Amino acid sequence: MTIIPETPSQLRLTPISRLAAGGRWRVEAMRALREPVLLWFTQGQGRITVAGTTRGYGPNHAVFIPPGIMHGFEVAPRVQGSVVFFGRNHGLTLPQVPKFLRPRDPISQKELLATLENIQRELETTRAGSQQAAKHHLGLLGVWLDRQLERERNFEPLMPRPAAAQRLVARYSALLERDFRSNPSVADYATALGVTPTHLTRVCRATCGKGAHQLLEERILFEARRLLTETRMPIKDVAGVLGYNSAGYFTRSFQKSAGMTPSAFRKKPASTVVPLL
């Protein structure tokens, strides 16, 4: 039986600019990870979609994304910052829902930068106890996140609740992430959510600029690309994992979306890049 590689369990920290080293699809396509992630943007701007809702980001914006939450964001050459992959065995108590944070005071910004620098320094050294030290600094990152969330809670009475459309698309994103490998249709998801496919498509486009089918197609395409680049799984097995009835149908669908066949995509030089996600 072919085994699909798991997300690395260890703590990692990398520049945001490196996330697209293996192709922009690694960042911009809708996908979910099996570990928590914190994005810290220090330069540039763009849009990020998390759980079906699109928002802008810019300098000094932090976005926390729990495991299993679909997301994707625009990344331009001028976008700079860091991303912390907590690993699956981080041992911290973290939020269960996405959080958009903008620490405006210089002290909070400096604290975060110092913590990230300390994590990076320990991860790069071979000194005794470096991994343990990095985990301790990760714990301080958890404290920083808690303090920012406490400040946010103080302003919650003044903040509007998520609209019904946002809640619906978040539910759709969660179902999509759970079930996309069995290849259900948008109509199947709409039925499970108690709405019509037309309504689901309309609210998806209103909250994130993409229709329900496009979100589904992007998630499947991302997974197909990941399996083609990170495994030696035969193409017919990739098709089976993603719920396709035949390798031929998968090949035609992949080529329509990606502009090349699965075998041609696998042969691209970028496919040799060590995955960061």
25-47 per-position pLDDT tens digit: 889 989 999 999 999 999 999 99
Mean pLDDT of 257-262: 92
45 touches 89 (CB < 8 A): no
CA dihedral (182, 208, 170, 275) positive or negative = positive
Question: Residue 164 is encoded by which pair of tokens?
Answer: 């019904």
103 touches 45 (CB < 8 A): no
Q: Does residue 215 share a domain with residue 95?
A: no
**∠ Cα 116 78 75 (to 5°):** 80
Q: Is residue 28 part of a domain?
A: yes
Residue 268 is predicted with a pLDDT of 82
Average pLDDT taken over every residue of the chain: 89
Q: Closest Cα to residue 211, out of 72, 56, 52? A: 52
CB within 8 Å of 255: residues ≥ 6 apart: 261, 262
DSSP of 30-98: -B--SS-EEEEEEE--EEEEETTEEEEE-TTEEEEE-TT--EEE---TT-EEEEEE--TT------SS-
How many domains is the chain built from?
2
Pick the last residue of a domain from 158, 184, 212: 158
Percent of the chain with pLDDT over 70: 91
Domain carrying residue 65: 12-158
Question: Residue 173 is encoded by which pair of tokens?
Answer: 């994103």
Q: Does residue 16 share a domain with residue 151?
A: yes
E-strand ranges in 120-220 read: none
CATH of residue 171? 1.10.10.60
What is the rounded CA–CA span in Å between residue 225 and residue 270?
11
Neighbours of 214 (CB within 10 A): 16
Does residue 8 surpass a pLDDT of 70?
no
Q: Is residue 48 part of a domain?
A: yes
Neighbours of 258 (CB within 10 A): 16
Q: Does residue 173 share a domain with residue 110?
A: no
User: Mind listing the pLDDT tens digit for each residue in 181-240?
Assistant: 998 999 999 999 999 999 999 999 999 999 999 999 999 999 999 999 989 999 999 999
Q: Does residue 152 share a domain with residue 67?
A: yes
Q: Does residue 193 share a domain with residue 56?
A: no
Dihedrals phi, psi of 71, to nearest 5 degrees = -160, 165
Model pTM above 0.75: yes
Q: Does residue 32 share a domain with residue 151?
A: yes
Question: Residue 247 is encoded by which pair of tokens?
Answer: 């390798």
What is the rounded CA–CA span in Å between residue 166 and residue 207?
6
User: Mind listing the pLDDT tens digit for each residue in 151-163?
Assistant: 877 655 444 556 8
What is the rounded CA–CA span in Å between residue 105 and residue 108?
6
What is the rounded CA–CA span in Å between residue 14 and residue 276?
8
Q: Is residue 277 part of a domain?
A: no
Q: Does residue 140 share a domain with residue 57?
A: yes
Q: Is residue 89 part of a domain?
A: yes
What is the rounded CA–CA span in Å between residue 94 and residue 138?
12
Does residue 276 surpass a pLDDT of 50?
no
CB within 8 Å of 42: residues ≥ 6 apart: 59, 60, 80, 81, 82
Distance of CA 2 to the CA centre of its chain: 25
Pick the last residue of a domain from 158, 177, 196: 158
Does residue 147 surpass a pLDDT of 70?
yes
Pick the last residue of a domain from 124, 158, 192: 158
User: Mind listing the pLDDT tens digit for each residue in 159-178?
Assistant: 455 689 999 999 999 999 99
Confidence of residue 23 (pLDDT cuts 50, 70, 90): confident
* Most confident segment among 76-80, 93-97, 152-156: 93-97
